[in-house]
Amino acid sequence: MCKKNRLTVLCLAAFLLACPVIFQTRANSAQDYQTGDKVIAPAAVQPGASTTTLFLDISSRVLSVDNERGLLGLAFHPQYSINGRFFVYYTRQTDGGLTIAEYHVTPGDPNVADPNSEILFGANFPINHSANTNHNGGCMQFGPDGYLYAGTGDGGSADDPPNNGQNINVLLGKILRLDVDTPNGAIHYSSPPTNPFFGSTPGADEIYAYGMRNPWRFSFDRGGTWQLYVGDVGQNTREEIDIVTLGGNYGWRVMEGMICNPFYFPSGVCTPPTGSILPIFDYTHSAGRCSITGGYVYRGARATAPAGVYVYADYCTGEIWQLQSGVNTLMIDTSRLITSFGEDEAGEVYVVGQNGTIDRLTTNPPPSPCLYMISPTSRLFPAAGTEGSLTLATTTDCGWIAAANVDWITFSANAGGGPASFLSAYLTI
Ligand SMILES: [Ca+2]
Ligand SMILES: [Ca+2]
């Protein structure tokens, strides 16, 4: 049995966010939140932070008049710190078409994007979604393979009337996988040749997996296996968690979670699509539960949750759950309308609330601020310079990660050789 953890949610955002649904981390940089059809970058992710920078405002391009439409996804290129490229997923102004576009940060100003830098993907994008306003998907994440993954909804209404989920010739009800580093002529992406329906194989080249209903939020487990965990929102009976693999069919609209879709199969008997894959877990709409918000596998170093548990929530009840080896345990019951989760560079998990909150999951009481100690703190260097190494120690439950020394160390040196001293940058997360 999983040990039940005492947890609290620590409110981080004192600034007002309008209906946030995204939390993403830029490598070596601050976290970013989507709010309305804008992206903001807090000056620092600290409890009570009150200053923000408007990173990007694409309100004029986005159709967000309906409950499920808007700026829905954001992903930073794995080499963002070098190339400044990032990607957004939104329903476009004219007809709600599912749009993926690239933007660039402003050269020289890491906290402001260039709003005129939009590059549309072309080819099969935007995806036609004019018939209904719901089930737009919207999550985007870069995978361990460097490809951009995007989740699309089934096109809306209820019970997927056109059967888009099972139709491998449309991009609705899918997990897509795109190569954004290899344009295809005027088309701003290409499909990896390893996608299951690539080239002459029947089916759309962009598809990675299918049979989804509305894979609202998904994430990769950074714990070594990089498994893709998808929270696929159900219809009227079951919310499900899938581990999605190349070419997998996750059953919708025939299956809803573990069962035959009651709308089409009121008897409870059906023939699942050949080779279709059941979720690793599903739950019913009992006790007011209504819609899964997929989260992250916890891989932080602060023991906020047991290592390797999948953390997710139900939107209606505010319950945050942990799932491990098929055992589902309530972590904390909140009053939040949880729209999304986020993960920082150290693996800590954040909770995004529709009413404008960003919380960090933490133990109760929260641990003391982390201390980071460098040893040695100074060293003599010859005039020609040389290499050296340092040891960084932390208090027990504090993780750290650094991809560039400028993030965590201050190095004072004397031209011409002599003593140099090292100071660790302030780090309190
Ligand atoms: Ca094909
Ligand atoms: Ca399914």
In the chain, pLDDT over 90 holds for what percent of residues?
Answer: 62
How many Cα atoms sit within 13 Å of 146 on the Cβ side?
9
Task: Give me the CATH number covering residue 104.
Answer: 2.120.10.30
Q: What is residue 119's three-state secondary structure?
A: strand
Tell me: do 169 and 100 sit in the same domain: yes
User: Residue 359: is it exposed, middle or buried by C-beta count within 10 angstroms (0-12/13-18/19+)?
Assistant: buried
Predicted confidence at residue 99, as pLDDT, reads: 98
Domain contains 281? yes
Ligand nearest to the CA of residue 171, numbered in listed order: 1
Tell me: do 198 and 178 sit in the same domain: yes
Tell me: do 93 and 126 sit in the same domain: yes
**What DSSP letter does each residue of 164-205 carry, written as one string?**
GGG-TTSSSSEEEEEBTTS-BTTBS-B--TTSTT-TTSSS-T
Ligand nearest to the CA of residue 237, numbered in listed order: 2
Q: Which of 21-30, 354-363, 368-377 has the highest mean pLDDT?
A: 354-363
Ligand nearest to the CA of residue 252, numbered in listed order: 2
Tell me: do 214 and 312 sit in the same domain: yes
Tell me: do 212 and 149 sit in the same domain: yes
Centroid of ligand 1 to alpha carbon of 176 (angstroms): 13
Tell me: do 293 and 153 sit in the same domain: yes
Tell me: do 38 and 144 sit in the same domain: yes
Domain contains 2? no
Ligand nearest to the CA of residue 124, numbered in listed order: 1
What pLDDT, in 10s, does the model give residues 52-100? 678 889 999 999 887 789 999 999 999 988 899 999 999 999 999 999 9
Centroid of ligand 1 to alpha carbon of 202 (angstroms): 5
Q: Which of 42-56, 210-224, 307-321 has the lowest average pLDDT?
A: 42-56
Domain contains 368? no
Predicted confidence at residue 391, as pLDDT, reads: 78
Provide the domain count of the chain.
Answer: 2
Centroid of ligand 1 to alpha carbon of 171 (angstroms): 12
Ligand nearest to the CA of residue 278, numbered in listed order: 2
The residue out of 322, 338, 363 marking a domain boundary is 363
Tell me: do 330 and 397 sit in the same domain: no
Per the CB < 8 A criterion, the answer to whether 356 and 17 are in contact is yes
Tell me: do 276 and 390 sit in the same domain: no
What pLDDT, in 10s, does the model give residues 399-426? 555 544 455 667 777 777 788 877 765 4
Its pTM stands at: 0.84
What pLDDT, in 10s, does the model give residues 229-277? 999 999 999 999 999 999 999 999 999 999 999 999 999 999 999 999 9
Ligand nearest to the CA of residue 210, numbered in listed order: 2
Q: At 57, list the tokens.
A: 């405002």
Centroid of ligand 2 to alpha carbon of 151 (angstroms): 14
Domain span including residue 275: 7-363
Centroid of ligand 1 to alpha carbon of 246 (angstroms): 15
Tell me: do 242 and 190 sit in the same domain: yes
Centroid of ligand 2 to alpha carbon of 276 (angstroms): 8
Ligand nearest to the CA of residue 195, numbered in listed order: 1
What pLDDT, in 10s, does the model give residues 108-158? 887 789 999 999 999 999 999 999 999 999 999 999 999 999 999 999 999
Centroid of ligand 1 to alpha carbon of 193 (angstroms): 10
